[in-house]
Amino acid sequence: MKKTFYLLAGLLMLAACAPKATTTGLVDRMTHDPNATNTETILHVWSWDFPTITENMKQIADAGFTMIQTSPVNACFSPEGGNIKILDEKEGNWYHYYQPTDWTVGNNILGTEEEMKVMLDEAKKYGIRVIVDVLPNHTAFDIDLVSDEFYAAVGGREKMFHTHGLEGINDYNDRTQCTHQGVGGLPDVNTENPLFQKYYMDFVNKLVNMGVRGFRYDTAKHIGVHSDPLDTEAGVKENDFWDVATGRKEVLGVSLAIPYDSLFVYGEVLQDRNVPEEEYASYFGQTASSYGHVLREALAKRSAKDVDLLQWYHRAAPEYLTTWVESHDTYCNANESAGLTDAQIRTGWVFLTARQNGTPLFYSRPMNSTRENYFGDNLLGARGNDEFFHPEVVAVNKFRQAMEGQVEDVKISEDGEVIVVNRGDKGAAVINFALEDNAFELVTTLPDGEYTDKVYGTSFKVENGILKGTAKAETTYIL
């Protein structure tokens, strides 16, 4: 969910992709190795239902994506006649599935448990890892809609929420409010209640046993870590939710069903003041929300001049960051990114994905969406537009995998319009942010010679370590 954030300056350049053990047994996600590379990419199949994902799995794999992220699969707020449209006063809203009513599998937006299992089997067939968006931090706005079974499992309604969980947050920089009160008014669950933890972990383990191999934790920064204040009025003695969720600790005889390091897990820890990023980093990867903001600034200007795109604006090592040009929140909430054209998003994606670190996520915009009609066909469950298999997107996804072990060297033209992402001496991506063709000469690590782009067959030349050519308006090339 979208929250206000402030840009955090960081001096992180390059990092490793393998977890590093420390003397405490925790994973070090703060120290980085300049020689390691990330190769995976995520397609956010936002609001696609299970049958639609299944039908398109081959195309997703052919497009070079290695992971998909589904929308929440839990039971959710389902008004009569609703959950049909992405955004409509009577026929539903996309954020209904961010209002859990129970931790069971299946809802009337994405489909049934049986349909999900078919989808997971199809993903396995194509070597695609499935990540599920989960949101243990809160329930539906209307707490009367939460299932009786859910309330009974956690010890009753009075045990479900933090002491002030039905109050909204006024100051997102106050860690007590941030972790004990409601995000956007959503009732804040007492995630430290062992009965809740057991019930939630039963759900997680069911998904894992079905074939899910990763999780995106919504509003993760609103679930406390050990340094955060305790809700002592609710009898909380330790902020241990993350210890349980990541398999370090069992609860009432239940623990994570498979080794945690076999899962891809990241948390939506939107950057702001007073966020304990170091502690969250000991549990999972985090969202690079500030970097996305800076990248969109360059795309809006159609130039990286006076915009530092080399820093990652995060204290954690960049190989543990999930990166994006835009997310479903930046697109849907305040429409922060919705005004960028598909071509602008595409050039940003190629730049981001050609780089050495981070795990980039491609948000699938609605079918037939335009800059005047952001929700296009406005149908929940339907496939997104064709951009996820645009030839430039496919080319850079496959380039990313082929460049494993190749360090980056990014060069930007003086006017900021053309960027070359060099990857060792094996390859390079050329990106033109501008609305006009650009002839350029930039330093490269490619050997001297003639090169032909993988997508358009455009010719480029390297002479004395200088890459020369002409990049068409808002176009990218893979060499």
Buried residues in 421-445 as b, exposed as e (16+ CB within 10 A): bbbbebbbbbbbbbeeebebebebb
Half-sphere exposure of 354 toward its Cβ, with a 13 Å CA cutoff? Answer: 32
Catalytic residue among 268, 272, 319, 417: 268
CA 203 to chain centre: 21
Is 89 among the catalytic positions?
A: no
The tokens describing 251, both together, are: 């609860």
Give residues with Cβ within 8 angstroms of 384, minimum separation 6. Answer: 45, 46, 47, 48, 364, 365, 366, 367
Do the Cβ atoms of 43 and 60 come closer than 8 Å?
yes
**Helices of type H across 7-90:** 50-55, 57-62
Give residues with Cβ within 8 angstroms of 231, minimum separation 6. Answer: 162, 163, 180, 190, 192
CA 373 to chain centre: 24
| 444/424 Cα distance (integer angstroms) | 9
Do the Cβ atoms of 364 and 385 come closer than 8 Å?
yes
| 239/220 Cα distance (integer angstroms) | 13
Do the Cβ atoms of 327 and 333 come closer than 8 Å?
no
Is 261 among the catalytic positions?
A: no
CA 411 to chain centre: 26
Give residues with Cβ within 8 angstroms of 193, minimum separation 6. Answer: 154, 155, 159, 160, 234
**Phi/psi-derived region of residue 424, left when phi > 0, alpha when psi is between -120 and 50, beta in every other case:** left
Catalytic residue among 122, 188, 218, 392: 218
Strands 285-287 and 321-324: parallel
- State the catalytic residues: 218, 268
